[in-house]
Amino acid sequence: MKTILFFKSRLLIKSILLLICSIVLVSCSLNTLKTANFNIQKQGARQYIPLSGDWKFKKGDLQAANLYEESVDDSQWSTIRVPANWYLEGHDINGVAWYKKHFNVPHSHKNKRFSLNFGGIDYSADIWLNGKYIGFHEGYFQPFTFDVTDTILLDQDNVLTVKVNSPLEAAGKDWSIHKRLIKGIFSHHDTRPGGAWSDRAQEKNTGGIWSTVDLEIHDVARINHVKVAPQINIEQKHATAMVEMSVDLQQKSTLSSHVKFTLKPYNFHSPDVVIKQDDFTLSPGENKVTIPIDIKNPKLWWPWDQGDANLYKLEVSLFSGDKAIDSTEVTFGFRNIQYDMDKKIWVINGKRMFLRGTNYIATQWLSEMSRQRFSRDVSLMKDANINAVRVHAHITDKEFYRQCDEAGMLVWQDFPLQWGYTDDLKFHDEAQKQAKEMVDILYNHPSIFAWSLMNEPVWDAPWMKFKYSSYNNKQNKQLTEKLYQTIYPYDKTRYVHAFSSTAEHPWAGWYFGSWLDFNKPTSVPIIAEFGAQALPEMASLRKIFSEQDLWPVNQQQWDKWDYHNFQQRETFKIAKVPMGRTPTEFVENTQTYQAKLVKLAAESYRRQRYTPVNSIFQFMFVEDWPSVNWGVVDYWRTPKLGYYALKQAYQPVLPSIAWVKENFKTNEKAEFTLWIINDLHKKFPKAQMSYSLRNKQKLLETNTLSLDIAEDSSQQVKTVAWSDLAAGKYELIVKIEDKNHQVLGINQHLFEIFPESTNLEE
């Protein structure tokens, strides 16, 4: 009996021990899970808990709802990835949607301050934390922050609720001329799904939490922003970084502090480091500090074809006594960019510069872009000899501007106002507020050289009277003036373009006239748009349309092409591009037309450099969704023929070929004028220009000329002509070499000689 009791006692003790071990293991596992959930990242004096990843998601409406309350069960809600535009996550919706995120915060941070940081929400958002209303934000492009110190729960489940509203614009016949959302091309544009003017022009909504979300852990004083205004004296080889800093003190008493500024090279080697320190007494709330930092012999930031894109890093550290309580850093460049209104020229670091640009919309859904994708786009631009980019009627992700800073790519930045908007004073106020936020957010990027505040406003677009019964030629005039008066004094380091006018958008060969009209002189100095549509290659076209829709023959099929931005009237009636006999021929015909138009326009404008043209921006660089539109690179980043035509016409040193007639008859003289365009501030003495004429593979003639090429210049060199050419296809090739026989530029022109009886007008 004793033996049996002994064994029973041992079994009971063993069971208890196993139970205790299980509890300990479970507890350890839970703690491990909680620690993993924290995933705390350190950056300077701050720490971050990333809140990206899987969130709960539920479609809502404009009716009052209590879905922010902690008691609401979200277990049956669907899951959505953040950051992401909701359309990319399979939710083709508009209007209100609810997001929820559960997270934990370690008790070890009990004496810290907490801020919720949102990188970007399209379009407006109401935010609750643990059932308490935190605040509201409007505007798709701005990062924003809320102090949530008094609302965070330590070592407990925190519930973050965000009600996002990305509505349609108001319905009605003329809805698009009275818009209320400051979204630019994301709410109304030719390149949107459905185009600009169809009943489906607001589909595939861009709403959602498209950028990062995190919980920031910091001390009682937080550096909100640092703006650096570069001031340079080129003659004296001296520069000043005028630093404007905002510090938020989140306590009721003052705080004695000092700030250490460290200015050092960011992307180049130099032993020069400037350190400056100063003492400040911070008051509760926002504190603004302005301090100059001088530097001798600064390395200037230059566009890539003019020099090196030298960047500096400014490290800012805030101390209370010996304790570092916050730190941040910004990159910027010393450069001076001016627009001489009298001479109508761009002056960069004291030197005149011609801008060879393009218009750019990376995507309709910003969350799908990444550092790698932006880097690929900027590389494609540089390879095409582009030195300036117009971010067309929207503000893109911050990564793009960083890439342009480092690549030496100039950026013309549009504010997201496209065509018509309501003239309510409340809307005017909101537009002015958001325009200042644009400047604040992007201020430190040396690549940005100009702000443009509206694209084709109603009062400057007389073509709208044919589209809108409610057209008013004074609409948005006051809005345009208010925006200019707000931004012009707000940023004195950049040129402010009040609006991009219809006159700056010569759409010859597409919306009117002939592509040959680009041979005519212009009186407009800034050419902000020009171009034509072209189909992508067959492999890309098959990703857009089914096999049976590749060759549209009925209205239902054409409706699908229209939805994907293809413009029938312009292609067939104005441009007179033939479809051909197969989809492959259709692709070739449209790409050939786009390439010819782009090359002719770009070369013609470059020959008019400073008489009066100072900058040109081809429209459009890439296609921003799987579509058929103006990009010279398709949505999948496959270049079209137009890309290579642009690359050739945009060579910094260009042997340009001027011509009046595209083709000739056997009884006509084939005549061409040869030019040299040099956009570089570099002279080329004893250079050589050679030209040759070929008929298929047969060389008919070749000649070489010796000449000096001045820096930043254009010169008409020689007129060549042939009057005895037989019918056939010909190629005129022109090449420029320096005195060491290094090729500076090469160009070609294709033309055809037809029999005398041919009617070339057909």
> What is the dihedral sign for C-alpha 24, 26, 32, 35?
negative
> In the predicted model, what is the mean pLDDT of residues 567-588?
98
Give the Cα separation of 703 and 700 in Å (integer): 11
Minimum mean pLDDT range among 24-33, 129-138, 257-266, 622-631 = 24-33
Q: Tens digits of per-residue pLDDT, 659-708? A: 999 999 999 999 999 999 999 999 999 999 999 999 988 999 999 999 99
- The residue type found at 316 is V
Contact 277, 258 (CB under 8 A): yes
Pick 145 or 724 by higher pLDDT.
145
Note the pLDDT of residue 27. Answer: 42
Give the Cα separation of 414 and 410 in Å (integer): 13
Give the Cα separation of 290 and 231 in Å (integer): 14
- Distances, alpha carbon 478 to alpha carbons 96, 376, 461, 482, in Å: 32, 40, 15, 6
pLDDT band at 37 (very low <50, low <70, confident <90, very high): low
Give the Cα separation of 14 and 344 in Å (integer): 91
Q: Tens digits of per-residue pLDDT, 362-399? A: 999 999 999 999 999 999 999 999 999 999 999 999 99
Whether pLDDT at 15 is above 80: no
pLDDT band at 39 (very low <50, low <70, confident <90, very high): confident
Whether pLDDT at 314 is above 50: yes
Contact 72, 56 (CB under 8 A): no
Give the Cα separation of 663 and 244 in Å (integer): 61
Question: Any idea of the CA torsion for 601, 604, 610, 613, to the nearest 10 degrees?
Answer: -20
Note the pLDDT of residue 1. Answer: 45
pTM above 0.85, yes or no: yes
Give the Cα separation of 591 and 580 in Å (integer): 13
pLDDT band at 65 (very low <50, low <70, confident <90, very high): confident
Contact 47, 217 (CB under 8 A): yes
The DSSP secondary structure of 33-46, one letter per residue, reads HHHHHH--EEETTE
Dihedrals phi, psi of 546, to nearest 5 degrees = -70, 165
The alpha carbon of residue 572 and the mean position of all alpha carbons in its chain are separated, in whole angstroms, by 32
Contact 669, 719 (CB under 8 A): no
The mean pLDDT value of the chain amounts to: 93
Please name which of 488, 490, 494 lies closest in space to residue 335, comparing C-alpha atoms: 494
CA atoms within 13 A on the CB side of 180: 12
